Chain A
Amino acid sequence: MDILIILEDNNGNIHRMGLESIVAAQQLGSELGLSTGALVMGANADALAEEASQYNVDEVIKVNDPLLASYSADGYSEAVKQIIEQENPTYVLFGHTYQVRDYAPRVSAKLMKPFLVDNVALSTEGGKVVFTKQMFNAKLFSDVIPSGEGPYLVSFQSAAFSADNAASGSASVREGSVNLDASMIKTESEEPFQEEAGGVDLTSADLIVSVGRGIGKEENIPLAQELAKALGAELASSRPVVDAGWLPSAHQVGSSGQSVSPKMYLALGISGAIQHVVGMKGSKNIVAINKDPEAPIFEIADYGVVGDVLEIVPKLTEALQ
């Protein structure tokens, strides 16, 4: 096949970002007239294969191997490398999940083939295949092109394509096999766990005031707290605020924090990096206050205020009281 989609197991179902990469493969395939296939793996990937076969791809390859029972970078990178060598696709597509970040660069190194990561779009205009990625925390974009012979490994950012657009079909399932040895796996993994949320449930909040690094220092956090209180809103934050210890991690919104969809999300001094945006772009109304008129947050905001949060926030609190 020409395009191989690598699907990830997410608690027994195909990871949403895998479905999004099916959409990317369907677009690339139809524009360039290329065949598509999807790979599922695990100790027993029968159910995943069944789920994958309901999409419009030419075939599904299922690899069942006891050494793939739980995720390891060693095992997964070796298995994917072997399937790529067997199938010799031109494109290998992934969702840019945390798991893919962890092992796909190893596949790239094993094959000495490029891995174009975290793309937000693809274009085949004039037969030239171009992938688009964000750079500098979403402040600039870049068109990226692979060179040399394929296969080219390509991953897509969360929501670059909508999983709802994955065309359905009925693909045949083929059994694939890989040659793994227990001695290849040099890591031991414990069970995944979640940390105490500390009583902060942002997911059901109607109003959220969220504070970013632009607040400047820990001593300024009360400005946001008072505004939240005046509005009757929950207080949330971007990652650097948690990293710096200004707020506990339960307040973090984003890909490694909570996903929220309040009626109003008021972002104070937040630049709008994708890892933050994935956690709050479902908000009904996004209001952003940022001193930089070019900040990427204004690209997704419904209402924008260019200004200094340290000046605006106290006055806003006062006006609301």
Chain B
Amino acid sequence: MTNTNSPTPAGSDATQGPVTRFLRATEIDTRLLGMVAALVLIWIGFHLYGALINGNGAFLTPRNLWNLSVQTASIGIMATGMVLVIVTRNIDLSVGSVLGFTAMIMALMQSRWLPHVFELGSPVIWITAALTGLLMGAAIGAFHGYLIAYARIPAFIVTLGGLLVWRGAAFLVARGETISPLDSTFVLIGGGPYGSVGATGSWIICALACAAVLWMIVSGRKSRQDHGFAQRPVWADTFLSALGCGIIIGATLLMNAYPWPKGIVKDYAAKNNITVPEEGLFISHGFAIPVLVLVAVAILMTILSTRTRFGRYVFAIGGNPEAAELAGINTRWMTVKLYALMGLLTGLSAVVASARLNSATNALGTFDELYVIAAAVIGGTSLAGGVGTIYGAILGALVMQSLQSGMVLIGFDAAIQQMVVGGVLVLAVWLDILYRRNAK
């Protein structure tokens, strides 16, 4: 076996422009570039709007971007699952309501039920509550999946029903009350000054992440070499390594640039007998725990979707359900498992979202299904099935959350926010259609 089987015939390189050649060599897809460009435009747009119209450009500040990262976590976690659901040509409209319901159950366990059994503040409480939330999410998802796969009710209907049922159930269990506060350890999963890993922790994570990027590129080269496949040019791999590490280091610097608020610092200093100097103490937030949860979920979901049989079957079902069945894949059972996974991620999202607010309200998660679906679609998941990526969905979540936070920041009211989100969803699908037509 030789390298003659490279995907690009050598001769055609000369006729392509330098940009095309660059993209080919680095294997960066243009769609990803488009998303990054959209994100950058949105960020600059909001910043300038704030600066010029309101006289205060607050978007591109460490504080806002740190908050943005925390707010993206909940939607992002669910979006990674929604990608796979949409890839199999299904949909899940119930995630917002399931999030609300599981968050409510977890809140009730922490503040009402479990304190009767265990001592207040005992770690058993928050761990039991969180695990129950995850399992309950998975069970609800599996039930939806069962109705879709075995009772043959369309996913749209099952989850539309679920949207109403679970929102109603969330109201019933707490009679519409807001349940708070939550366990003090549990709320760390939602972020905040104490729920962040600080400067040192962030640098450790940064170093590990950079090492992982380099390892992936080197082992990728080695694997291609072992099998005699065409290699990426060395300069392209060098560029990708530098880009990956650059982004990671930049994110770390940014997160570390946002200090704890003065009040919290004073509090912390008092508790730990530190004297705060005249000019104040600069204690970095660093990466927030929910962001790290999102990153972990993203990595696991990427491995699941690209490196395991489960992921392979998800894409096969999306590409051609009949072929998947004929290849011996139990497509119905796959559907149940997939919805259970979606439910599990929704439960995890409920942990993050309620922990961030230190409460569960009856409205928690309302409209999340739209944000999550929009995130997946903006991230390149095709509603026709068979196509989608986890990293795309997370970028999509970041785009949606940037829009949302940006509008809040510059003072658009809720009505306009809704209209923009709705419009963006439709626009994203239209752009996707145009993109695919041109790619053909």
Do the two shown chains form a genuine complex with each other? no
Report A's interface with B, CB cutoff 8 A.
none
B contact set with A: CB distance below 8 Å: none
